[in-house]
Structure 1
């Protein structure tokens, strides 16, 4: 169990500040985003984020609404949390009021708060099953006490797993790291240019990085290893050079952190395996959509299945694919809804603009020169098998080069889908083997005839566009069409004839 003061302590004064502490502290159970004050469903023990609060009156109304439903605390950004009317409402209602740092993004705060709640749940599990590892946040506090400096614990991909108190004594790079739960790219580039990560990979016990010209304070960095594998690292923001004794004491904590990271990995692997089996079953149409939605915390809203091509010759594509999906699906429920089926990685994502949603995933995939990816249609959770089939179909068009990649959505490429399905059916029916087209195909210069006729039919009444598609002069197009009409006895003025020829040519090109 964790209370509001416990959450504020874990998050630290860099992000949260208690404006009014309620009487008996309630156990925090969940994080709720109040996008509309009156209609926000609030339950006992919720931390309610005033995302849509625009006025003092809105803030007062939200506080009263949350108090009536037993919320643990209301979180507001400046200046609302400090308003006298809001503080008075919180005091009368007996609800805790917490101020959020103005620069904190609400989406990042939700992520951070849920991480703290998850860590508290792990701590409760540890209390029932005692072990030598302890809680990672407590270990960060212990490491901070040893080195007398604020500490973060990061994994091998520079994502923040835990951090100590006293982060208000750090620099802007550390604040950005904690708020984003990973080291920003520009900060990573600066440390990489100084050879920090090269030194980490070489097995140094402790690395000191002096202050930088941009205002970044000195760092003492200790790699976290087990069996020769780099699992992560501990970063302390120090005022200056650290004595050998203190650096050695800081490094002595690394083996304990390594044990915790190994246990965390084992638990995540188990959860990921369970999630993957659930996702596979629902995508194949054999599992319970209701069970998958409950297990993976999928909201009752439209979702898409996104298929990412794992069959790539590029040795870097696999790593890019996995890293991207892990980062983007962290905001979808408590577990990423991801599974690998027959060499294709599938992700179930909400059809929204938010973090972890389809649009965010699409933008990230488009920015990366990574593997091909296609999304099925937007469907209810109980119809995910259909969205998976549509994602597969769109992915096949990308692989065949019929759709320009690297990302496509099934509902946006419907014209290509219609033509492709028509071509497949027509090919099976042998339509390309009848009529005058059969004669044109038998000629040695068949490609010349077929390409010209195809573009002429695709651009009716527009010889310039047809010529441009063939990269020839319009007069050359007219000369070629005269040769074609002379070679076959066909009335190209008849609309049915033109339609039949176009279907035949589509079958040849797309089938």
Structure 2
């Protein structure tokens, strides 16, 4: 048996969304019909509904009722589901009911067999072979990012572009550029049933391309290398395979999403110190070498977070374990190989901080160090965009001392300087203290001329009224200024 939530998770958010939750077990899929009794555990599909409120009331024993907009979003329907204690599931408006029935039954069969994949779905490679037999040409099945998921036999009849694609498991950039210039991907996004691309001057053979869609979303495409124009009947038969491939890709995505969620939960537990680091390492397949925890300040918005998460989970070498926690992305990477590769691959415009390399049982400590280094970056106290805990130790020592010292900023002559500050005195003293004996570096940090720095420091010395040549005075003032900036 499988729960309603389990069914929704396996089918995936492209097609289904829980509008009203209910923790019930699912046994069968039925289409709502007048006078037909509903049994406990039924998923009831409201294919043609005159009164959705009445349907929900009549399905109080069911596991869930599935409706398309606008029925699933109406407040009266939601209220009826809550009163009946039945789950209400919203189905994407562009979803074919026939495909959904096929997919739901496959999910239930898989759950009954206690297997993650139903035998009905078979294998994408076998499906590629079947599609190749229909079109009488070698076929690849690719996702929406042009990564090869499966390919048929007979690839020896293709061209160098296809060979490079299969060898690299994705379409090479130069090949993508050629197809993009011919408008292929624009046609894919517009929803054409089939796309024929003639032979190109560089020797690339013709292609017959079929988009793979479900619920209005482009999930991928099938590419056949053909000798020339394909007869309409054969082309239509090739396109007829797309809905079946779409179901495979949705199941694949749902399975990957579940695996990613499980991995993220293990990473979060290890980072927060609430779970066994050793157990997490074993389940995440982390090598028995020192690892760093890397904190990445995520760009604003859900889109930026998802894009960065996808980039991190693409991996560089060994795939890092990644989790989203408190608005930050954390990656657990091997110190010797994973961290340098990840550091190079991260995009511009994000702040990145790394803890020290630790045993996998101590990931929570490395996470705390990454957070501490990231706080320095956010405060502008160390140059960005990357801060490594064991490389910024000098600033960390000052900060820890300042924080532990209590309210030290109000002691001594700094209060007079702050009271007279017109926007540049305190910053001038801070940079002068940070660059002892190097007025040019201090002036550069303030974006001013060294002579301007000397003029300002004369005024600072007058207001402070303390011996700035005394190393203890300089250290005390620097600790005070660091404390102000830290807080």
TM-score relative to the length of structure 2: 0.70
1:316 Cα deviation (Å)? 4.8
CA RMSD of aligned residues (A): 2.7
Measured against aligned partners, the alpha-carbon deviations of 1:397-435 in whole angstroms (never above 9, x if no partner) come to 333333444343322333333333344334xx1211111
Instruction: Give SS of 1:132's match.
Output: helix
1:362 Cα deviation (Å)? 1.5
Q: Are 1:351 and 2:335 counterparts? A: yes
> Which of the residues 305, 322, 326 maps onto 2:309?
322
The answer to whether the 8 Å contact 1:321/1:370 transfers is no
Q: Are 1:174 and 2:133 counterparts? A: no
- Give the count of matched residue pairs: 376
Q: Are 1:442 and 2:419 counterparts? A: yes
1:171 Cα deviation (Å)? 2.4
Aligned position for 1:456: 432
Where in structure 2 are the equivalents of 1:25-424 lying within 5 Å?
131-310=119-298, 312-313=299-300, 316-328=303-315, 331-332=318-319, 337-353=321-337, 357-365=338-346, 368-424=347-403
Aligned position for 1:502: 478
1:324 Cα deviation (Å)? 0.3
1:370 Cα deviation (Å)? 5.0
Aligned position for 1:482: 458
The answer to whether the 8 Å contact 1:329/1:337 transfers is no
The answer to whether the 8 Å contact 2:198/2:207 transfers is yes
TM-score relative to the length of structure 1: 0.67
CA–CA separation in structure 2 for the residues paired with 1:249 and 1:380: 56
CA–CA separation in structure 1 for the residues paired with 2:257 and 2:470: 64
1:472 Cα deviation (Å)? 4.2
Instruction: Give SS of 1:224's match.
Output: strand
Task: Please list every run of at least 4 consecutive aligned residues from structure 1 whose deviation after the TM superposition is greater than 6 angstroms.
Answer: 125-129
1:197 Cα deviation (Å)? 1.6
Instruction: Give SS of 1:432's match.
Output: coil
1:448 Cα deviation (Å)? 3.6
CA–CA separation in structure 1 for the residues paired with 2:309 and 2:414: 48
CA–CA separation in structure 1 for the residues paired with 2:458 and 2:216: 75
The answer to whether the 8 Å contact 2:379/2:486 transfers is no
| Structure 2 gap ranges (5+) | 1-109
Describe the shift of the 1:352–1:187 C-alpha distance in structure 2 as closer, same or farther (beyond 3 A). Answer: farther
- Structure 1, 460-469 or 233-242: larger mean CA deviation: 460-469
1:138 Cα deviation (Å)? 0.8
| Structure 1 gap ranges (5+) | 1-121
CA–CA separation in structure 1 for the residues paired with 2:357 and 2:115: 43
Instruction: Give SS of 1:347's match.
Output: strand
CA–CA separation in structure 1 for the residues paired with 2:442 and 2:116: 75
Describe the shift of the 1:181–1:401 C-alpha distance in structure 2 as closer, same or farther (beyond 3 A). Answer: farther
CA–CA separation in structure 2 for the residues paired with 1:127 and 1:292: 23
CA–CA separation in structure 2 for the residues paired with 1:221 and 1:463: 65
CA–CA separation in structure 1 for the residues paired with 2:333 and 2:136: 43
The answer to whether the 8 Å contact 2:313/2:321 transfers is no
The answer to whether the 8 Å contact 1:290/1:382 transfers is yes
1:260 Cα deviation (Å)? 1.4
The answer to whether the 8 Å contact 1:308/1:345 transfers is yes
CA–CA separation in structure 2 for the residues paired with 1:413 and 1:227: 50
